[in-house]
């Protein structure tokens, strides 16, 4: 249902380092880039994540209650994604662990403060 999600950044070069590492762990790379924006995802497919400086020229801000969830292949990948996020300028929002019985997840923010999680069921 979702084609892609776009998040704002105030420092595209810094954010690119963060998302390049996350995308590589997920097995995807950049599929689009241009003046002031980048996008990662499977080639010729969706969904993906885009990152842009806001087109209105105002600073990017974080949406309160907004989160992008990344599907992991297993618990080990959830752990690796959380560690990569922290190693590349992200901040912790909830260490990897089991939640609600079958939901294994980790929560983190990118360098601009956008909230993400990595998860796997079962």
pLDDT in tens, 54-97: 999 999 999 989 999 999 999 999 999 999 999 999 999 999 99
Give per-residue pLDDT as tens, 25-48.
Answer: 999 999 999 999 999 999 877 789
Angstrom distance (rounded) from CA 3 to CA 1: 6
Rounded to a whole number, what is the largest CA-CA distance in the chain? 44
Residues 77-100 as b/e (b if ≥16 CB within 10 A, e otherwise) read bbbbbbbbbeebbbeeeeebeeee
Predicted local confidence at residue 3, as pLDDT: 83
What is the token pair recorded at 35?
């003046």
Please list the residues that pair with 46 across neighbouring strands: none
| 53 HSE (CA, 13 A, CB side) | 11
Q: Domains along the chain?
A: 4-54+67-121 (3.10.180.10)
Distance of CA 43 to the CA centre of its chain: 17
Q: State if pTM tops 0.85.
A: yes
Whole-angstrom distance, CA of residue 28 vs CA of residue 89: 20
Residue 120 β-bridge partners = 104
Residue 68: name the closest of 89, 51, 53 by CA. Answer: 51
């Amino acid at each position: 249902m979702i084609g892609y999600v776009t998040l704002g950044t105030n420092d595209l070069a810094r954010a690119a380092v963060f998302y390049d590492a996350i995308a590589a762990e997920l097995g995807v790379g950049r599929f689009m880039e241009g003046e002031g924006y980048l996008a990662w995802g499977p080639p010729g497919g969706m969904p993906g994540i885009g990152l842009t400086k806001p087109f209105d020229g105002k600073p990017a801000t974080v949406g309160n209650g907004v989160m992008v969830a990344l599907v992991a292949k297993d618990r080990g990948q959830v752990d690796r994604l959380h560690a990569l996020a922290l190693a590349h300028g992200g901040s912790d929002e909830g260490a990897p662990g089991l939640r609600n019985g079958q939901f294994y997840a980790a929560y983190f923010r990118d360098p601009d403060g956008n909230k993400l999680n990595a998860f796997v069921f079962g």
